[in-house]
């Protein structure tokens, strides 16, 4: 449980750090915003499923939000996950969650595997956003776990 909680703390830190740097640098590249929105919405989808609710109404690859709106959504996700994780015990980590993906296909996955996926999924896309920042002559953001651990 401690490791998963620490991984989620890194996720909140990395998401917040990247979004703040994008705002500070005026990074409004459409693909960077699309990728950040994907991270935000994927996290929202998984939280919705963990809470036992249907996520089919949530679009994962939309591009309508501004950076400020995405920052607000990141905050809501963080609060939701913090609340969920506070109520979670080690004994429940292997409980199975039944859900349907965005295409309607049924799946069964343990809470442990879902939370691990959530903690790791955004890392790839945050790296893609950093690549876009560099290509736009902006400053990429250090988001490695060790930087978080040292912070």
CA angle 84, 87, 89 (to 5 degrees): 115
pLDDT of 33-64, one tens digit each? 999 999 999 999 999 999 999 999 898 887 68
State the burial class of residue 30 (Cβ atoms within 10 Å of its Cβ: 0-12, 13-18, 19+).
exposed
Residue 92 CA to its chain's centroid (Å)? 22
Residue 110 backbone dihedrals phi, psi, to 5 degrees: -70, 155
pLDDT over threshold 90, residue 151: no
pLDDT of 5-36, one tens digit each? 999 999 999 999 999 999 999 988 999 999 99
User: Structure pTM?
Assistant: 0.93
pLDDT of the residue at 113: 98
**What is the CB neighbour count within 10 angstroms for residue 65?**
17
Specify binding-site residues for a divalent metal cation. 38, 121, 125
Domain with residue 22: its CATH number is: 1.20.120.450
Specify binding-site residues. 38, 121, 125
* Tokens of residue 116, six digits: 């691990």
* Number of domains comprising the chain: 1
pLDDT of the residue at 93: 98
pLDDT of 108-144, one tens digit each? 999 999 999 999 999 999 999 999 999 999 999 999 9
Contact between 14 and 148 (Cβ < 8 Å): yes
Query: Containing domain of residue 20, as a range?
Result: 2-150
């Amino acid at each position: 449980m401690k490791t998963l909680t620490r991984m989620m703390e890194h996720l909140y830190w990395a998401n917040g750090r990247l979004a703040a740097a994008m705002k500070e640098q005026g990074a409004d590249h459409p693909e960077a915003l699309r990728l950040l929105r994907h991270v935000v919405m994927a996290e929202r989808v998984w939280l919705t499923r963990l809470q036992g609710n249907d996520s089919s109404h949530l679009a994962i690859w939309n591009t309508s939000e501004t950076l400020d709106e995405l920052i607000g959504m990141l905050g809501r996700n963080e609060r939701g996950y913090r609340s969920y994780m506070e109520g979670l015990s080690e004994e429940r980590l292997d409980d199975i969650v039944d859900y349907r993906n965005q295409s309607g296909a049924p799946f069964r996955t343990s809470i442990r595997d879902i939370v691990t996926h959530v903690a790791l999924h955004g890392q790839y896309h945050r790296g893609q956003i950093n690549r876009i920042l560099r290509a736009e002559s902006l400053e990429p953001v250090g988001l490695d776990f060790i930087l978080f651990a040292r912070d």
